[in-house]
Amino acid sequence: MNKFIVFLFAISICFVSSEACAESRIDIKNELGKGVVLEIGCRSVTPTKNMGRVSIQFNDKMGYGVVALHERGTRTIITCNIWHAIPKSPKNPRGGMIMVNKLEAFAAGANRKCGQYREWVARPDGIYFRRNVKDPYERRKDYFWNTLLF
């Protein structure tokens, strides 16, 4: 009887340890201003996968679900290119474009963590980030070096 209980215990440990990892979430939000459309193109480095190009309207949000890969020597990294047009103004009559290349939107850690959350917000003065819905945003990127004027 004792051997049977130990056997059941060992089997239950195997089933619990092989439980699937919950999907991690990346949200990208546009707070640039009325009429400004945010364009994003994201791709996964490991495994290589293009997640497509998306246009996000003002005060709208786009979300990606990610199942992080945890194998020896590899980890899931997702980078995004983000850009939007600069409207024409008296100081800049031809307009322009602001770009952020290879923003690391998600990087899986060395240890397995399930159900992680990343939120990126594009605002007129830069790109903000937070890991938890309850936390305030912190500024991560400036637009100053990435501005192209036509």
pLDDT, one tens digit for every residue, the chain (150 residues): 666 565 556 665 655 544 567 788 889 999 998 988 999 998 887 667 888 889 999 999 888 887 766 565 677 888 888 888 877 778 777 877 888 888 888 887 767 777 888 899 999 888 899 988 888 888 887 765 555 444
3-class DSSP state of 12: helix
97 within a domain of the structure (yes/no): yes
15 within a domain of the structure (yes/no): no
Q: What is the CATH number of the domain that holds 63?
A: 2.60.40
8 within a domain of the structure (yes/no): no
Which residue range is the domain that position 82 belongs to? 22-149
pTM: 0.73
- For 94, residues 6+ apart whose C-beta sits below 8 A from its C-beta are 88, 149, 150
Number of folded domains that form the chain: 1
Q: Where are the alpha helices (DSSP H) in the chain?
A: 2-17
145 within a domain of the structure (yes/no): yes
Task: Select from 86, 57, 78, 91 the least CA-distant residue to 146.
Answer: 86
43 phi/psi in degrees, rounded to 5? -150, 150
Spatial separation of the C-alpha atoms in residues 146 and 141, rounded to whole Å: 10
Neighbour count for residue 55 (Cβ, 10 Å): 12
